[in-house]
Amino acid sequence: MPKRRADATAGEDDEMRASEEKDNLPELPPADEEWSADEDDVEEEPDEEESGEDDEEGMEEGEPAVQEPSRVYLPGEAEEAEKTGDLVCDESAYQLYHTCGTLLPCLSFDVIPDNLGDERTTYPATVYCIAGSQAEKANKNSLLIMKMSKLSQMKPQKDSDDEDEDSGDDSDEDELPELECAQIRHIGAVNRLKFAKVNNVPLAASFSETGSVHLWDLTNAIRAVDDSRIMSNFRQNASDYTPFYTFSGHKAEGFALHWSRAAPGQLATGDCNGDIHVWKPISGGRWNVDQRSYRSHTSSVEDIQWSPNEANVFASCSSDKSIKIWDIRQNPSSACMMTTGDAHTEDVNVIHWNPTEPFIVSGSDAGDIKVWDLRRFATGNAAVAVFRHHRGPICSIEWHPTDSTVFAAAGEDNQLTQWDIAVEKGEDEPQELDSVPPQLLFIHQGQTEIKELHWHPQMPGVILSSALNGIDVFKTISV
């Protein structure tokens, strides 16, 4: 799939600047940069002898080559084309599309809000994020604080005549993306990572495979990616960068972690034993973690979501197939207020609370997605919509930050989908679309083993998604 790619290799030069493109390779990145292209994407030129034989066998001299017409695949039809490499990206479906590669898989990440303005739609764009690695050796892991800048807008495709006329005018517009990266050593693979700003201090919470949960002050790291002089000093003192608080009360590793938006600094963490602990900030930049766990799930807690407007309420989901609503004003033993026991037929992997409406969206191992109305949750019949498209477990799901009917989901079938629950089927839709849910807006592919997605809160419609082959930053024409 053609896209711009900048490989971020921790410990090496983090700023990727590209020289001028070579005239004979207009589709490939410059050879002197650490940019990568799959071998399958590069066509070898045939030898003259072989070329001549093909001409004799395939066509008469002077006869124009016949170009196969492109085919548009409906969802569910393209699996074989993807395996054979015949499925390619339609770049006209994107307004923005870049990929940042990392040396190690960084499957959990979060967007870092910035001071560049809200609701921004101008290009080139700049994005800040933090990611955590999953190395095989515990002492080889890191947190990566990244600044991706000069992210240009997708250019409309031109015919050959237009390209010849405009070839001399694009040199100033073809700046390739740049990446600055500050690396912080992390003991153990990072299972889950979340960013929050508390009392105007940028913080990150990381859940390690060792079972410990760490809090990090990212002030210096963010300054470093903005200033090369600070970066030099940051790298010299990188070994001194340690978490300012660690909780080791979980009896097992975990993947559930979420900061409260309604009560800044309040945090909830859940582990694979089914235990949930609530953290509350106290004076002096410290946290008090209740040693009594909130326990009602009978299996691993997979995800946690605080209510966006009620400081004392959070939701959780589990591999026991349930979704629960909790009120922390009660004792931990009696704080579970509502439960939907068989929310899905298989493990409930992820949930997300709608920022403005009383809805929760969930995804399961079965690949199905459900939307829950919290006003009907206690009745056990609260699912107001069920969507089935993904052919693998749902591993990430998130509502759009401002459009209350739009959400995105990612699955282990290497697809990231965008949905709008307000869309209804039209009366005159073609029959061949009967198998496609009308609420399905867009399918993004090209990543291997997608694990997390996040909408950018300050750039409408922009999504970041992490996978084995890096982090994609894109905006589609659908949202």
Q: Are strands 190-198 and 108-111 parallel, antiparallel or unpaired?
A: unpaired
Spell out the residues 6+ positions from residue 176 whose beta carbon is closer than 8 angstroms to its own. Answer: 4, 6, 16, 17, 18, 29, 33, 35, 150
Ordered alpha helix ranges (H), 59-103: 79-84
| pTM for the whole structure | 0.83
More confident residue, 22 or 394: 394
**pLDDT for 77:** 63
Q: Assign 3-class secondary structure to 276-288.
A: EEEEEEECCCEEE
Among candidates 389, 194, 387, 373, which has minimal Cα distance to 279?
A: 194
Distance CA 232, CA 155 (A): 36
Among candidates 293, 303, 403, 399, which has minimal Cα distance to 344?
A: 303
* pLDDT surpasses 70 at 42: no
The confidence band for 252, taking pLDDT boundaries of 50, 70 and 90, is very high
For residue 13, the tally of other CB atoms under 10 A from its CB is: 11
* Mean pLDDT confidence for 270-284: 95
Give, in order, the Cα–Cα distances in Å from 282 to each of 201, 285, 289, 309, 332.
15, 7, 10, 21, 20
Q: Are strands 4-8 and 94-102 parallel, antiparallel or unpaired?
A: parallel
Q: Are strands 452-455 and 462-467 parallel, antiparallel or unpaired?
A: antiparallel
Q: Are 218 and 203 in contact (CB under 8 A)?
A: yes
Average pLDDT in the chain: 84
Q: Are strands 452-455 and 440-444 parallel, antiparallel or unpaired?
A: unpaired
* pLDDT surpasses 60 at 250: yes
* pLDDT surpasses 70 at 462: yes
The confidence band for 155, taking pLDDT boundaries of 50, 70 and 90, is confident
pLDDT tens track for 279-296: 999 988 889 999 999 999
pLDDT tens track for 92-126: 999 999 999 888 899 899 999 999 999 999 999 99
**pLDDT for 66:** 55
**pLDDT for 104:** 87
Distance CA 386, CA 310 (A): 26
* Mean pLDDT confidence for 252-257: 98
**pLDDT for 79:** 65
Range in 65-79, 89-103, 117-131, 338-352 with the lowest mean pLDDT:
65-79
50 Rama class: left (phi>0) / alpha (psi -120 to 50) / beta: alpha
More confident residue, 55 or 202: 202
* Mean pLDDT confidence for 248-265: 97
Range in 54-58, 102-106, 135-139, 220-224 with the lowest mean pLDDT:
54-58
* Mean pLDDT confidence for 135-157: 92
Percent of the chain at pLDDT exceeding 90: 68
**pLDDT for 299:** 97
* pLDDT surpasses 80 at 44: no
- The amino acid present at 336, given as its one-letter code, is C
Q: Can you tell me which residue has the tokens 């700046």? A: 175
**pLDDT for 173:** 52
* Mean pLDDT confidence for 230-257: 94
* pLDDT surpasses 90 at 18: no
Give, in order, the Cα–Cα distances in Å from 352 to each of 407, 420, 422, 453.
9, 15, 18, 12
For residue 166, give the H/E element and its range. Answer: helix 160-166
Range in 13-22, 114-123, 202-211, 216-225 with the lowest mean pLDDT:
13-22
Give the phi and the psi of residue 37 in degrees, each rounded to 5.
-140, 140
Distance CA 248, CA 256 (A): 15
* Mean pLDDT confidence for 18-34: 31
**pLDDT for 7:** 38
Q: Are 28 and 42 in contact (CB under 8 A)?
A: yes
* pLDDT surpasses 70 at 458: yes
DSSP-assigned letters across all residues of 126-150: EEEEEEE---SSGGGEEEEEEEEEE
Distance CA 110, CA 195 (A): 6
pLDDT tens track for 394-438: 999 999 999 999 999 999 999 999 999 999 887 777 766 777 889
**pLDDT for 172:** 47
C-alpha angle 151-154-155 in degrees, rounded to nearest 5: 125
* Mean pLDDT confidence for 6-13: 38
